[in-house]
Amino acid sequence: MGESRVAVIGGGVIGLSCAWRLADDGADVTVVDPEPASGASWVAGGMLAPVTEAWPGEERLLELGSRSLRRWPGFASRLTAAAGMDAGLQTGGTVVAAMDSADRAELDGLAAHLRRLGRDVNALPGRELRRLEPALGPNVRAGLAVPGDLSVDNRALLVALRAVCDRVKFVAAKACAARPGSVELVDGSAVDADVVVVAAGAWSAALHPALAGRLRPVKGEIVRLRARPSALPPPARTVRALVSGRPVYLVPRGDGRLVLGATQYEAGFDIEVTVGGVRDLLRDAEQVMPGLAEYAIEELSAGLRPVTPDNLPVIGELEPGVLAATGHGRNGLLLAPITADAVVALVRGAASPVPTEAAGWDGAAG
Ligand X SMILES: Cc1cc2nc3c(=O)[nH]c(=O)nc-3n(C[C@H](O)[C@H](O)[C@H](O)COP(=O)(O)OP(=O)(O)OC[C@H]3O[C@@H](n4cnc5c(N)ncnc54)[C@H](O)[C@@H]3O)c2cc1C
Judged by the rule CB under 6 A, the positions of this chain that interact with ligand X are: 9-15, 32-41, 43-47, 174-175, 199-203, 220, 222, 261-262, 303-306, 326, 328-334
Facing residues of 311 across strands? Answer: none
CA dist 192 and 176 (Å) reads 14
Distance in Å, CB of 40 to ligand X, minimum: 4
Distance in Å, CB of 221 to ligand X, minimum: 6
Task: List, in sequence order, every beta strand (DSSP E) within 190-337.
Answer: 190-192, 195-198, 216-227, 238-243, 246-252, 257-261, 295-307, 314-319, 322-326
In the bound state with ligand X, the residue whose beta carbon lies nearer, of 16 and 142, is 16
Distance in Å, CB of 32 to ligand X, minimum: 5
Distance in Å, CB of 330 to ligand X, minimum: 5
In the bound state with ligand X, the residue whose beta carbon lies nearer, of 1 and 300, is 300
Helices (DSSP H) in 87-201: which residue ranges? 101-116, 126-132, 154-164
Nearest alpha-carbon partner for 202 in 270, 156, 145 = 270
Distance in Å, CB of 65 to ligand X, minimum: 8
Taking a C-beta distance cutoff of 8 angstroms, is the pair 301, 260 a contact? Answer: no
In the bound state with ligand X, the residue whose beta carbon lies nearer, of 27 and 223, is 223
Rg (CA), the chain: 20
In the bound state with ligand X, the residue whose beta carbon lies nearer, of 142 and 223, is 223
In the bound state with ligand X, the residue whose beta carbon lies nearer, of 99 and 175, is 175
Distance in Å, CB of 58 to ligand X, minimum: 14
Please state whether 269 falls in left (phi above 0), alpha (psi between -120 and 50) or beta. alpha
Query: Distance between terminal CA atoms of the chain?
Result: 27
In the bound state with ligand X, the residue whose beta carbon lies nearer, of 257 and 328, is 328
